[in-house]
Each structure stands twice: as C-alpha cells, then as structure tokens.
Structure 1
Amino acid sequence: MSKHRWQRFGMAAAALGLALLHGGGTAVAGPDGITIGVLNDQSGPYADITGQGSVIAARMAVEDFGGRVLGKPVKLIFADHQQKPDVANTIARKWLDADKVDLIVDVPNSGILLAVQEIVRNTSGILIAAGGGTSRFTSEACSPYGFMWVYDSYALANSMGRAVTAQGGKSWFFLPVDYAWGEALSADLSAAVQASGGTVTGSVKTPLNTADYSSFLLRAQASKADVVALLNAGADTINSVKQANEFGIVSGGQRLATGLFYLNDARSVGLDTAQGLLVADGYYWDQTSETRAWAERFQKRHNGRMPSSIQMGVYSAVLHYLKSVAAAGSDNRDDIARKIRELPVRDAIVPDGRVREDGIMLHDILLLQVKTPAESTGEWDLFKIVKTTPGSQAFRPLEQSKCPMIKRP
C-alpha cells in the first residue's frame, strides 16, 4: 500500500464535509466555527507522552481534514492542567461556557478525566479521552458525550495480565500510583491475574510524581512475588523502572511488568535496563506502513521525536470527530455524538475501528516487548509486537459493563 495513503483519508474527509455543506443546504456550524481544545500535561510527568506532541497531532488532523468543516474554520487551542483537578475544572468550565469549545480531547490523569466528564455531561461539548484510561469512564461514569480512544485499564490489564500469568508469573505484588488510574488498573489487573490462576500477594500505593521508590520496591522485593507490577505512567514509570533495576529486582529472579510503558519511556530508560519488559498499549508507530508514514510526518514536526500511542490516538480522535461533524450537518452535540458511534473509524492509525454504545472505540490492543540492544535497528526501534488482541476480546464485554446507557435484554 502506498506510503501516502494517509493523504487520501484527509482528502476524503474534506470532500465529505463539502458534499454535505453544498448538498444539504442547511449544514452550518456556529458563527465562530468549530473549536477543539487539547487539555493535557504540558509541564509535568506526562508532558513527553502528551504535551505539545498531542497538540501537533491534533493540528495534523485538522489540516488533513482541510481546516474547515460545514463552511467554517476549525480552531485549535490547548492548555496545561498541571495535574491539578481544580485547575483542569476551571479550564474546562471556561472553555465550555465562555470560549464555546466543541471538543475537549486527550486529558491524561484519570481523576481529572472523570471530573471533566461530569462538567461536559452537564454543560456542553464532547470529550474524547486519549491520555486518561480509567475503565470507569465508560462504565459507571459513562456519558452520551464521552469517548475512549486509545486504551482503558481493563483492556491493558486483561491483555498484559493474562499473558504474563500464562508465562509463569503466578504471584504478583502491585505498586499502583495513588490516584484514579492506579486504582482502576490495580482492580482490573487483579481480576485478570486471578482469572488466569494467579494470586496477588500484596499492594502498596505510591505517590504521583515521586522521586524515591526505594521503600516501595524493598517491600515488593521482600514479598518474593514472581512479578512486581508498576502501575503508573509517564515519568513515574521511568523512575520506578530505573530504580527497580538498581535494586536488582529482575536480576534477583523477579519479573517486572508495567501498566503503561510508552515509546518515550523506553527511550529514556534505555534498552539495557528495560529489555524484555512486557507491556500492553493501543498503538505503536511501527505497526503498519500507514502508521510509519504518519509517524515520519509527525517526527519532522516534533523535534525528531516519534509519537506515543496517546499522540497517535489524538490524531485519530480529532479526525473522526470532524468527519462526524460533517456527517451530522450541524454542531449540535447530540447529532455529532450519534455520528461518532455510527461512522466506522478508518484512518492512518486505526484501519477498522468502531465505537460502542458505551463510548469505547473498539480496536486492537498490542502486547509489546522492549527489544534488546542487539534487536534494535535505530533510535526509535524499541518495541516488538508479541501479540495482537482484537478489541472485542481485549475490552470489557458489553454485558459486564455498568454503563446505564446500555440497553439490557
């Protein structure tokens, strides 16, 4: 397939928007057009995996779509929530009330994501999660206007937990970060491990953005568990993996697993330290010819950096949102939300996805393994794909969801 197939996605999407505009006669956006807000961590532990990279990815989606929808311009803004719920809530309320933002996207930090979900539900606009991953977002806390685009804690735990347990990791010790993401991942991983015949021997919460994991790692080491699970993300994962290596967790016979370990993390830690680590994720830049071509474009715009899975998800989410606005023929959020669920998700990142009624975008979840130095062929050649789990098997079955929007028999 041609390296430049991604161009046809944007051209087709733009054509769809123009066709609706000129064919329907009543397809209009608000007086200021459509405004998209990227809300994420621009300066803290998740800045590398979201931050300006997510803004660039969103801008690429807008440009590929044609920059306009329903005859009006698409405006892109961004803000730093600083990992503080009160800051994030203030930004979200201002965006929705004063700035008339139509879409909020990204939102790493699951506690913040759940708070913004309620603001959007009760105010206006649509929310698409790329960074935040608590499975509660589309279960107990689901909303007609909230969508999950990259992964959730259930899908990651289900894929990674079952695989590692099947490989002999029968006893586990958890080190979850102390906020909603760690809590959700801990619960979902525990269920996956136990369903696979394993046991959880202990668990200790760790502070967000801490520099010292020594006391936590010593407790995990003393447990003699087969697997030590670092249930955090971003800079916290980098620090804990490095310190686990210094304490000899792996050399002492225990295995190390993570809830999330991004491309940027592997590059920062180094293959000598991280090699062999098994992780689950939604996307990887070297997955297909289309993802490679898109990643090369992104790399040129982001100081030579390849995209994280979150940044790839932001691109797909924004592009699908704009297609849905065009298909809806208006900026009414109920019409747009309906089209988000109706339209297939097809772009350079997601070849064949679909959005369930609970807001989960079903797509493959990848089980990745960090390469050895000998296996790597370049600076960003850091993972190999060990297993691909279809979305229908990776994500929580719809009948097990607690989302009140699901129609029960």
Structure 2
Amino acid sequence: MARSRRAQGARRAGAMVRALCAATALLAPVTARADGNVLRIGIITDMSGPYSEGTGEGSVAAARLAVEDFGPTVLGRRIEIISADHQNKPDIASTIVRNWIDTKGVDVVAEGVNSAVALAVQAVTRERGKIFLISGAGSSDLTGKSCSPTGVHWTHDTYASSNATAKTLVARGKKSWYFLTADYAFGHALERDAARAVETAGGQVLGKVRHPFNNPDFSSFLLQAQGSPAKVIALANAGSDFANAVKQAHEFGLIQSDKTVAALQVTLTDVASLGLEMVQGALFTASFYWDRTPETRAYAERFLALRKAMPTAYQAGVTSALTHYLKAVRAAGTTEAAAVMARMRETPVNDFFAQGGKVRSDGRMVHDMYLMRFKTPSQSRNRWDLYELVATVPGDEAFRPLGEGGCPYVRN
C-alpha cells in the first residue's frame, strides 16, 4: 500500500512537471514573437546522414561567414543562427520549420539538402509567408510545379547539373544511356532532366534501374547496368549513394570497361574521400569550385580555417544566398517577405559565387555553370585539387527556360 501511494505521488508529481512544461511552451511563442531585436536564420540540414559531409555543420559555418561578411546586425536587429538535423525525413523537417516560424520567430530558412525534404519545407514556408533559400537540394521541381513566391533555388538543380554533361557526352558519340537512379524526389528529377537532355541531343535511353536512398549495396543494380548494351551508365544519385556506386562500379570493372560512368551530381567531399583513381577523366557539371578564381580561393581559405575542409558548392551557396538576403532586407527596410523578394529579384548577384546572377520570378537564381573534368592523380597537388575547368556554360543555357517549368506563379 505504501508503495502504491508513493507511485501515485510520483505520477502526480510527474503530471505537475509536464503541465508546467506545457505552460512554459505556451508562453515561449509569445516571447519569441515579441522579440523584435533579433533576426533569426534557421539552417535545416543533414547533420548525421549521407549528405552531412557536404552540408551539415559546414552549412552552419557557411551561414556564419555570411553574417561575418554582412555584419552582426540589420535594421537594428541582432542576427542569430539556429540549426537542426532533419534526418532526411520530410515530416521531421516540416515539423521543425513550422515550430521555428511559429514559436521561435525565425525570419528565413536556408539550405534544405535532400529534395524530398526541401519540397516539404517549401510547402511550409510558402504557407507561412517566409523566405526559403535552397542550396543543397537539387530537384528542378522546386522552381517548377512546386515553386513558391518566397522560395529561391540558389546553387544548382537537376536540369542544370545534367544538361551540359549529357549534351557533351552525346556529342562525343556516347549516345546510348542507362540510368542508375536514387528512388526518391531528387533521383527521379535528375533522371528525368538528364534523359530529356540526352534525347534532345540525339541520344537514346535504353533502360533504368532505381535503388533505395542511402543504399550500401549496389551489386544487383550494377549487374543490370552491366548487362545493358548502353554505352553510358548514368549515376542519378548523390552523397554516399554516389560514392558507394562508384566504388562498387570500380570493383565490378565498369570504370575500366568500354562503358562510360557519368556522374550527374558531384559533391567535393565525396570525391576527396573516393580518390581520383576511381573517377579520373570523367566529365561532370558543377555550380562552384573553390579553386576557380581568386575570389573563390579567398572564400575557401576562410572556410578551411573553420572546417578543415574546402567548401562544397552547397556550403558556398549558403553564404552567397544569405548575404544577398541580408542586403535585400537592409535595402527594403523590412523583413516582410514580398518586399525582400522584390529586392532580391531586382538586384544582380555579384560575389565570389556568381557574377551577374539573377533571381527569376520562378525563384531560380540563374548563374553560370561549369563543365569540369576530374584530374588524374598525377595532376593533383593536394587532397582538394580535384577538378579542371573544361568550359563555362552561360546561365541562360545551363538552366531551364522560365516558361518551361510550369511554375504557377509565373503563369499567373
């Protein structure tokens, strides 16, 4: 009986604690919304999964560099950065971002690697009227059928990443293609956009196979690709999926065969981990490379001091996008999304990331892309000396034409 009374007392005490916590939670939104002295930036990213090396804490560091460049305040408000791991789950990402906006007073959300996550987050920010600066995610649907009047797709997309690579390979006689595709929003969009580029250039898609996201074993998928008469095996994946597929393609002898393995989306950190022996000579398209200009090198040295690694395109995009956003807030004299978006669209992007970049009405930031080739091991001077520039692709040629994406805000 004594134990029973003690247990009941413990349950009552626990209930009181939970009630107190709930009351505190109810008060928190009021405090956060009432705090007009802080502009909050929320970095939603992959901190622990297959994209974490190329985004993650490095994207948070990239946001800090943007604030360092701009200054600690805007419109008399202190700039604050918060971050969270979305675990590559759209429902978790949506919950986090909704809570940020509703209870923590977040003014702008940035990064959003993983297209399924970014599409979910964009739905929340569109509903809440907040700006979403997308850097890591790639699906071109983010400025197409799923576009947003408050969304800006900054760094790359599946259309631009595949366009120049596919056209160049087809022009070199690599006309028959087989796709090995990550089975989620990003992979589907990358396969679709690359296939369109192949067929437009006069090539043919002979087949495809789709693998699970974050997949450790590609043997069965590579066997199917190996059995195809296609000359090109196109990897429509990214992050650890890309790295694992390349490693196992090397083990299967595909890299050394008469087939060409095409990398449609490349992350600097994945290539550094793989080593050039496995990818040397292959062509791909990049939105940013740290060693391209004096300005990119200067930015990269600052990033290296923080992270002991060179920045990926996604991380560099976070710095560039947030700097442009903060300048627009200052020019507009408000954080109200429509006014800030108007300033972002009317102001060219001229920084270490892009020269003459422009934010279109569908949210696409149009800038030059770069056809690159992986160096050979003998050409590389250090761990991060990985790419050589083959050609610059003007932004209007690299990205999908405005009228072809199906963005309802453009039509209306």
With the length of structure 1 as denominator, give the TM-score of the two structures.
Answer: 0.91
Counterpart check, 1:177 vs 2:182: yes
Counterpart check, 1:354 vs 2:354: no
Q: How does 1:106-255 map to 2 (within 5 A)?
A: 106-255=111-260
Where 1:102 maps in the other structure, the secondary structure is strand
Higher relative contact order (CA 8 A, sep 6+): 1
Output the CA distance in 1 between the equivalents of 2:305 and 2:314: 18
Question: Which residue of 1 is the match for residue 6 of structure 2?
Answer: none
User: CA shift at 1:35, angstroms?
Assistant: 0.5
**Unaligned stretches of 5+ residues in structure 1:** 1-28
Question: Which residue of 2 is the match for residue 396 of structure 1?
Answer: 400
Question: Which residue of 1 is the match for residue 391 of structure 2?
Answer: 387
Determine which of 289, 310, 315 is the counterpart of 1:311.
Answer: 315
Where 1:205 maps in the other structure, the secondary structure is strand
User: Cα deviations across residues 66-86 of structure 1 (Å, max 9, x unaligned)?
Assistant: 111001100101100001111
Question: Which residue of 2 is the match for residue 65 of structure 1?
Answer: 70
User: CA shift at 1:351, angstroms?
Assistant: 2.4
Output the CA distance in 1 between the equivalents of 2:366 and 2:97: 27
Output the CA distance in 2 between the equivalents of 1:381 and 1:314: 22
Runs of 4+ that moved beyond 2 A: none
Where 2:205 maps in the other structure, the secondary structure is strand
Q: How does 1:318-337 map to 2 (within 5 A)?
A: 318-337=322-341
Output the CA distance in 2 between the equivalents of 1:217 and 1:407: 42
User: CA shift at 1:250, angstroms?
Assistant: 2.3
User: CA shift at 1:127, angstroms?
Assistant: 0.3
Question: Which residue of 1 is the match for residue 45 of structure 2?
Answer: 40
Output the CA distance in 1 between the equivalents of 2:211 and 2:283: 21
Letter in 2 for 1:192: A
Question: Which residue of 2 is the match for residue 293 of structure 1?
Answer: 298
Question: Which residue of 1 is the match for residue 261 of structure 2?
Answer: 256
Output the CA distance in 1 between the equivalents of 2:279 and 2:71: 41
Identical-residue share of aligned pairs (%): 47
CA contact (8 A) 1:37 1:105 kept: yes
User: CA shift at 1:401, angstroms?
Assistant: 2.3
Where 1:77 maps in the other structure, the secondary structure is strand
User: Cα deviations across residues 139-183 of structure 1 (Å, max 9, x unaligned)?
Assistant: 111111001101111111212111111112110110110100001
CA contact (8 A) 1:266 1:370 kept: no
Output the CA distance in 1 between the equivalents of 2:294 and 2:206: 43
User: CA shift at 1:108, angstroms?
Assistant: 0.8
CA contact (8 A) 1:30 1:331 kept: no
CA contact (8 A) 1:56 1:298 kept: yes
User: Cα deviations across residues 86-137 of structure 1 (Å, max 9, x unaligned)?
Assistant: 1111101101111111111111110111111111111131101100111111
Letter in 1 for 2:45: N
Q: Work out the number of aligned pairs and report it.
A: 379
User: CA shift at 1:407, angstroms?
Assistant: 5.1
Output the CA distance in 2 between the equivalents of 1:388 and 1:173: 26
Letter in 2 for 1:267: A
Output the CA distance in 1 between the equivalents of 2:184 and 2:343: 33
Output the CA distance in 2 between the equivalents of 1:398 and 1:350: 19
Letter in 1 for 2:295: E
User: Cα deviations across residues 7-59 of structure 1 (Å, max 9, x unaligned)?
Assistant: xxxxxxxxxxxxxxxxxxxxxx9613211011010000000110011100110
CA contact (8 A) 1:224 1:254 kept: no
User: CA shift at 1:352, angstroms?
Assistant: 2.1
Output the CA distance in 1 between the equivalents of 2:372 and 2:270: 13
CA contact (8 A) 2:286 2:371 kept: yes
Where 1:330 maps in the other structure, the secondary structure is coil
Where 1:405 maps in the other structure, the secondary structure is helix
Counterpart check, 1:266 vs 2:300: no
Q: Root-mean-square deviation (CA), in Å? A: 1.2
Output the CA distance in 2 between the equivalents of 1:89 and 1:251: 44
Which deviates more from structure 2 when the two are superposed, residues 175-184 or residues 252-261? 252-261
With the length of structure 2 as denominator, give the TM-score of the two structures.
Answer: 0.90
Counterpart check, 1:52 vs 2:31: no
Where 2:192 maps in the other structure, the secondary structure is helix
Output the CA distance in 2 between the equivalents of 1:184 and 1:74: 35
Output the CA distance in 1 between the equivalents of 2:276 and 2:402: 38
Letter in 2 for 1:343: T
Output the CA distance in 2 between the equivalents of 1:189 and 1:32: 46
CA contact (8 A) 2:141 2:405 kept: no
CA contact (8 A) 2:255 2:278 kept: no
**Unaligned stretches of 5+ residues in structure 2:** 1-33
Where 1:381 maps in the other structure, the secondary structure is coil
CA contact (8 A) 1:96 1:124 kept: no
Where 2:391 maps in the other structure, the secondary structure is strand
CA contact (8 A) 2:111 2:133 kept: yes
